[in-house]
Amino acid sequence: MMSVGLARKAAAFGASAAVLAGLSAGLMSSPAQAATKSAPKVSVSAPKATPGDYEGSCPTKINFSAQIKVPLKGKTELAYRWLHGDGSKSKVNVIKLKGKGTKTVTVKQSITFKEDVKGWEAVQVLGPKKVTSKKGYFSVSCQKPQEDVRTHLDVSVSARAWASPSTYAGRCDTYGDKIDFTGLIKTDRPSWVRYRWVLNGEVVDYGKIKVREARKVGFGINPRHSQRGWAQLQVLSPDATSSNRAYYKVWCKDEHKGDHRDDHKGDDKTPDSHAGTLSATASVTTGAGCSVTGTGSVTSSKAGTVSYSWALNGTVLSTGSVEFGADGGSKPINGFSTTSEIKSGTVTLSVSGAGGSDTDTKSYVCS
């Protein structure tokens, strides 16, 4: 066992040897150290979060930025990456720089957070010299959106809808509504109510009425082919609500009521119940500046001239006529377009001729 005195002498000798070795190394490496002292000094600021302390609905995006200063003497490459508070790292980004003097580079990143978090971000420069910034702290506090709190001062509105009949089976080549939809609007005090009807996802009618306790509104459809679907009454104000969906079904049956007199038996040219029928089909679209465009067609099963007219909110805009041959058929007609702003209204296509008359009305709203 080494004595304490001998140990101290050995330690002193070791220390002296270490000092000599250090001096020797210093003398040998002094040129390199001088070069190191003159090497460019790279600095990087602590990342700044915007916003730094967020409170509100989530998910939300937080933006981070930091500045890196690099002295330049020609060309160099700046390599860096982001360090995250959870221990992960971003990919290495490389920016090529050139010039003389100190250049400041702003690096940025954005992170989306879906829940509460308190953390930090840092920037690690890997070249031309390795240096790591201080930590930039941030926090995210997610809050549920506040629901509108209703009081006794707010008007309460309810709506209910039904179809009458809910199922129709019969001829569809006749005029008049086959299915009528009725809606009942109730309020707890007299109020003006804005509403609209939606048929199979499309707005077909709308209006504004004064409701004191309860009031009915409605519209009807005259399908020309078998179908099924639904209608819903939607209240827009003063309290947004919707009725149930009123479902309906239409089954069109072709019934031929030919003239059964004996002198017409076996005569293929005997007219059936479709002879002389006439129908109008209209379509409305809105464009830039709430311009209105109407297009349509006329179907007739009888030869002759069919006259038609277009009306917007009750005012006739254009008229015309179309000729049908012996076999009748369906033909497109000239439509119309407006240049003035008309945000809402109804467009009506009216037709008349040897086969009778018909109208098709469409409502529109330009938002």
According to the model, what pLDDT value does residue 148 have? 59
In a domain, 32, yes or no: no
DSSP state of 177: -
In a domain, 25, yes or no: no
Distance, in Å, from the CA atom of 115 to the CA atom of 52, rounded to the nearest integer, reads: 15
Write out the residue range of the structural domain in which residue 348 sits.
275-365
Residues 180 and 248 in one domain: yes
Distance, in Å, from the CA atom of 275 to the CA atom of 272, rounded to the nearest integer, reads: 6
Question: How many CB atoms within 10 Å of residue 1?
Answer: 4
Last residue of a domain, one of 142, 177, 211: 142
According to the model, what pLDDT value does residue 163 have? 92
In a domain, 27, yes or no: no
Q: How far is CA 303 from CA 22, 258, 333, in A?
A: 117, 19, 16
Residues 234 and 174 in one domain: yes
Handedness of CA 193, 199, 203, 204 (dihedral sign): negative
In a domain, 163, yes or no: yes
Residues 48 and 137 in one domain: yes
Q: Are the C-beta atoms of 360 and 338 separated by less than 8 Å?
A: no
Residues 93 and 168 in one domain: no
Domain CATH number, residue 117: 2.60.40.3880
Residues 138 and 49 in one domain: yes
Residues 127 and 49 in one domain: yes
In a domain, 339, yes or no: yes
| Ramachandran sector of residue 9 (left: φ over 0; alpha: ψ -120 to 50; beta: rest) | alpha
Last residue of a domain, one of 252, 285, 303: 252
Domain CATH number, residue 228: 2.60.40.10
Distance, in Å, from the CA atom of 127 to the CA atom of 109, rounded to the nearest integer, reads: 19
In a domain, 59, yes or no: yes
* Type of residue at 323: E
Burial class (CB in 10 A: 0-12, 13-18, 19+), 352: middle
- Residue ranges of the chain whose pLDDT lies below 70: 1-40, 145-151, 254-276, 355, 367
Residues 245 and 280 in one domain: no
Report the greatest alpha carbon distance in the chain. 148
Residues 49 and 118 in one domain: yes
Q: Are the C-beta atoms of 138 and 53 separated by less than 8 Å?
A: yes
What lies within 8 Å, CB to CB, of 82 at 6+ separation is 47, 64, 89, 90, 109, 121, 122, 123, 124
In a domain, 33, yes or no: no
Q: pTM for the whole thing?
A: 0.35
* Type of residue at 345: G
In a domain, 148, yes or no: no
Number of domains comprising the chain: 3
CA atoms within 13 A on the CB side of 292: 25
Q: Are the C-beta atoms of 308 and 319 separated by less than 8 Å?
A: yes
Residues 291 and 240 in one domain: no
Q: Cα 61 vs. chain centroid, distance in angstroms?
A: 20
Residues 181 and 129 in one domain: no
